C-alpha cells in the first residue's frame, strides 16, 4: 500500500532574502525584464547615465523618476521606492530602511549641491 503524505493546510509566509536599496531593486527589476540601461532609458525617457547613477546609489530616485521607471518596468512605483516594505511593518507605521543614515545624508547633500 502506498504511503499518503500529509497535506499542509497552513501556508508559511515568504521571508525577505535580501535587504535591497531602491537602486539595487531598480537594477534587479531591469534585469528581470531583460532590459539594458539603454533599453530602460528609452522606455522611461530618462538618460542612461541617470539610470546608472540611480542603480549605484549616486542619485536619489525620487517620486517623479519612480513613476517613469515603474511605467517602463510594469510595476508600481512603491516597488522601486520601498523595496523592503512588508505588511507587518504597516501596522507599526514603519518600514525597513535600506540605507544607513550616513548614506541618506550624503544623498541629501548631493541633491542640494546639484
Secondary structure in 3-state letters for 75-91: CCHHHHHCCCCCHHHHH
Report the chain's mean pLDDT, rounded to a whole number. Answer: 81
Give domain status of residue 1, yes or no. no
Q: Which residue has the higher pLDDT, 58 or 99?
A: 58
77 within 8 A of 66, measured Cβ to Cβ: yes
Portion of the chain with pLDDT greater than 90, in percent:
54
Whether 81 is in a domain gets the answer yes
The answer as to whether 57 is a domain residue is yes
Is the backbone of residue 62 left (phi > 0), alpha (psi -120 to 50) or beta? left
The domain tally of the chain equals 1
Residue 105 structural domain: 22-85+95-113
Q: Please name the helix (run of DSSP H) or strand (run of DSSP E) that holds residue 15, with its range, or none.
A: none
* Confidence (pTM): 0.64
Q: Measuring CA to CA, how many Å separate 12 from each of 8, 17, 88?
A: 10, 14, 14
Cell of 59: 542619485
Give the mean pLDDT of 60-83.
96
Region of 6 (left: φ > 0; alpha: ψ -120 to 50; beta: rest) is beta
Which one is predicted more confidently, 11 or 49? Answer: 49
| pLDDT at residue number 59 | 95
Domain with 32 in it: what CATH number?
1.10.260.40
The CA-atom distances, in angstroms, between 11 and each of 4, 14, 46 are 20, 9, 41
Report the pLDDT value the prediction gives residue 96, as an integer from 0 to 100.
Answer: 47
The stretch 57-64 carries a mean pLDDT of 95
Amino acid at each position: 500500500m502506498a504511503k499518503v503524505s500529509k497535506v499542509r493546510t497552513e501556508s508559511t509566509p515568504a521571508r525577505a532574502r535580501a535587504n535591497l536599496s531602491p537602486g539595487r531593486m531598480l537594477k534587479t527589476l531591469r534585469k528581470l525584464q531583460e532590459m539594458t540601461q539603454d533599453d530602460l532609458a528609452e522606455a522611461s525617457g530618462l538618460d542612461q547615465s541617470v539610470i546608472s547613477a540611480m542603480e549605484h546609489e549616486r542619485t536619489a530616485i525620487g517620486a517623479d523618476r519612480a513613476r517613469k521607471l515603474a511605467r517602463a518596468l510594469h510595476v508600481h512605483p512603491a516597488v522601486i521606492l520601498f523595496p523592503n516594505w512588508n505588511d507587518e511593518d504597516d501596522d507599526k507605521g514603519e518600514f525597513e530602511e535600506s540605507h544607513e543614515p550616513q548614506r541618506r545624508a550624503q544623498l541629501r547633500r548631493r541633491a542640494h549641491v546639484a
